[in-house]
Amino acid sequence: MKNARLATVLILVLTILPGCKKPAEGNMVDLVLINGKVWTGDAARPWAESVAVRGGTIFAVGTAAELAGLAASAKKTVDLGGALVLPGFIDSHVHFLAGGFALKSIQLRDAGSREEFAARIAAKARELGPGRWIVNGDWDHQQFSPVETPRRDWIDAVTPDNPVCVNRFDGHMIVANSLALKLAGVTRDTPVPPGGEIEKDPATGEPTGILKDAAMDLVYAKIPDPTFEEKFEAAEASVRHAAENGVTSVHEMADASSFEVFQELARRGRLTTRVYLYVPITEVEAVEALKVKSPFGSPVLKLAGLKGFVDGSLGSATAYFFEPYTDDPTTAGILNGQMFPAGIMEQRILEADRAGLQLAIHAIGDRANSLLLDIFEKAVQENGPRDRRWRVEHAQHLRPADIARFGRLGLVAAVQPYHAIDDGRWAETKIGPERAETTYAFGSLRRAGAILAFGSDWTVAPLSPILGIYAAVTRRTLDGQNPGGWVPAEKVSVEESVRAYTVNGAWVEFAEASKGSIAAGKLADLVVLDRDIFTIPTEEIGNAKVRMTVFDGGVIFLRMTASDGRVLYGKDR
Ligand SMILES: [Zn+2]
C-alpha cells in the first residue's frame, strides 16, 4: 500500500519534469531550471541562476530576472531551490564497458581476509555451476590482514570445476586457480613473456597462481568471449551508473571491439553517456588504413585515437622507476609488453602522429614518464608543430625536471585524484618519502602549464566525480592518517577540480566549442548537486550527492526524498 503510494509520487514527479526532447515551437523552450546556483565554466559569465534548454542544447543562461520571460512560457520549469548546477561531468579515463561487467560480476574489492576471499569465490562457483569461468573481482590485497597476495591454493578446494581468473583492482595482476592454469598450459616451465611475470613459490618452484601484466594474457586468452547480448547488457549497466554519478561524457580506454556495442546503444537511442573511445596503439596500422583523423564520429560516440602503455602499476610493483622499490630492492618495475621489441613504441607514436591520431599513453613510474616524454619530444621535432592535445595517463610519479617538461610540451596530465587518497595509504612504503613528494603532483603539473584532466579510472576507483574532487581538494587518505592532506602542496582548489572534470575534459577531446561549460549553444548536459561544494567545508565534499542529471536536454537521473525520508530514484527516459 505504502509502496504503491510512493510509486505514484515518483511517477507524478517524473511527469512534471521534462520529457524527451520535443520539437520546439517558436521561441518556446523545453525546460528552464530556475533558482539555482550555476557554475558555468564560461569566463564571460562564471555564475548564473537560471538555464533554459531547447532541444538538446542550452538556449540561454542568466539571472532569474533575465530568464523570467522564458521560464513563464517554457514547457517545463524546475525550481532548484538554490541547488548547485555544473556542466555534466566528463570522466577522462574509464574502462566503461569493463565497468559494466564488473557491476554484474563477483565483488572482491572489500574482501578483508583470505577466508572471505575464498568464501565469495566459493559462493560464485555454486551460483554459476560447473564449467563457468569466474572473472573480474577487483580484489585489493592491501585490505587483507595480514597483507598478502592471494594464491591458487586458497581457492582450489572450492573451485575444482570452475576456472578462476580474478584480477587485482588495478588490472595489472591476476590470481588464477589450478584449473585455469591447466587450461592455459601454465606450468613451472612456461617461458615468462616479456613485460610479464609468473610468480613462483620459492620453496617448490611451482606457479602460485599470480600472473602480472603480459603474463596475464596466457590465461585471458582462454576465457570465452562474452556474447554481444552480454556486452550490451554490461554497457547499459555502465550508462545507468554514469547517469547516477552525474557523468555525461567518458573517455573510454577500451579495445576496438566495444565500438559495436556503444554503436548499437546509440542506434537504439539509449546511449545517454557520450563516449570518446581510444583503441589500443597496437591497432595503429588498422586505424591508419581508415585514413580517419582524431576525433571522428557523432556527438555521442567518437573514435578518439590510440591508447598505449609504457609500464604497469605501483600496487603491483610493475611501475617502472629509475631507482628500485624501497620495500623490494630487487626490482625497479617492468616495462609493458607494448615497449617490446625495443623502439616499437616510438615507431608507433610517430606513425600515429603522422596519421593525425590523438595519443593517450599510460605512464606511472618516473622512468616510464621520462621515457615517454623523450619519445613525445622526438615526435614533435620530427613531425613539426601541431595542435595535438597528447595525454599522459596517470603521470603518477615524476622527477621534478619532468614536471616542467609537461608544461613545455603542453601535455594533458590525465590523472585520477582518487588514486592519491587510496594509494597514499601505502605508497611511501613502496617508494620512500622523497619520491612521494612528486607523486600525484596535480598542483605542480598545473603550475607548470600542463592541462589537468580528471577521471576515475573506474573500475580501478569509484566512478563518482564528487569523490574525485574531494580527493584532489583534500588529499585526505582513506585511512584517515592524513587529515591535513597527503603531500598537501599538491592540493588543487574546488574550482580547478571542477574545471578538470568539465571544461578541460571537453578541450582534451577537441570539443570545447560544444560542451564542458554552460553557455548558449552548447549541448544541454548538466548535473545538479544537493549541496554547494564551493562553500561547504572541504572535508564534507565527499558527502555531496547528485540530485539530477540532464543529458542532451532530457533528465536521465533524478534523486528525490520521499515524505518518509527514503531516497527514491528515477529517470524519465
Ligand atoms: Zn585505466
Q: Quick count: other Cβ atoms within 10 Å of Cβ 550?
A: 28
| Cα 253 to averaged position of ligand 1 atoms, centre (Å) | 7
The string over 265-297, giving b where at least 16 C-beta atoms fall within 10 Å of a residue's C-beta and e elsewhere, is bbeeeebbbbbbbbbbbbebeebbeeeeebbeb
| Cα 329 to averaged position of ligand 1 atoms, centre (Å) | 27
| Cα 309 to averaged position of ligand 1 atoms, centre (Å) | 10
Grid cell locating 199: 610468480
pLDDT of 188-230, one tens digit each? 999 999 999 999 999 999 999 999 999 999 999 999 989 999 8
**What is the structure's pLDDT at 26?**
57
Q: Does residue 396 sit in helix, strand or coil?
A: coil
| Cα 167 to averaged position of ligand 1 atoms, centre (Å) | 14
| Cα 98 to averaged position of ligand 1 atoms, centre (Å) | 11
| Cα 150 to averaged position of ligand 1 atoms, centre (Å) | 22
| Cα 460 to averaged position of ligand 1 atoms, centre (Å) | 7
End-to-end CA distance of the chain: give it in Å, rounded. 26
| Cα 272 to averaged position of ligand 1 atoms, centre (Å) | 22
Q: pTM value?
A: 0.86
HSE of 100, CA atoms in CB hemisphere, 13 A: 21
| Cα 458 to averaged position of ligand 1 atoms, centre (Å) | 7
| Cα 394 to averaged position of ligand 1 atoms, centre (Å) | 8
Spatial CA neighbour of 178 closest among 152, 216, 154, 151: 152
| Cα 103 to averaged position of ligand 1 atoms, centre (Å) | 16
| Cα 254 to averaged position of ligand 1 atoms, centre (Å) | 9
| Cα 346 to averaged position of ligand 1 atoms, centre (Å) | 21
How far out from the chain centre does Cα 167 lie?
17
| Cα 57 to averaged position of ligand 1 atoms, centre (Å) | 31
**What is the structure's pLDDT at 563?**
60
| Cα 94 to averaged position of ligand 1 atoms, centre (Å) | 6
* Rounded distance between C-alpha atoms, residue 87 and residue 432, angstroms: 39
| Cα 80 to averaged position of ligand 1 atoms, centre (Å) | 35
| Cα 545 to averaged position of ligand 1 atoms, centre (Å) | 25
Q: Does residue 124 sit in helix, strand or coil?
A: helix
* Rounded distance between C-alpha atoms, residue 141 and residue 117, angstroms: 10
| Cα 465 to averaged position of ligand 1 atoms, centre (Å) | 15
* Rounded distance between C-alpha atoms, residue 304 and residue 297, angstroms: 9
Dihedral class, residue 351 (left if φ above 0, else alpha if ψ from -120 to 50, else beta): alpha
Residues of the chain with pLDDT under 50: 1-25, 570-573
Helix or strand run (H / E) with residue 73: helix 68-73
Spatial CA neighbour of 532 closest among 549, 547, 516: 547
**What is the structure's pLDDT at 410?**
95
| Cα 13 to averaged position of ligand 1 atoms, centre (Å) | 38
- C-alpha distances in Å from residue 295, one per residue of 303, 355, 356, 511, 541: 6, 12, 9, 9, 34
| Cα 95 to averaged position of ligand 1 atoms, centre (Å) | 6
Give 185-189 contacts, CB < 8 A, sequence gap 24+: 185/218, 186/211, 186/218, 186/219
State the residue for C-alpha cell 547499459.
236
Question: Residue 227 in contact with residue 215, Cβ under 8 Å?
Answer: no
Grid cell locating 373: 616524454
| Cα 218 to averaged position of ligand 1 atoms, centre (Å) | 21
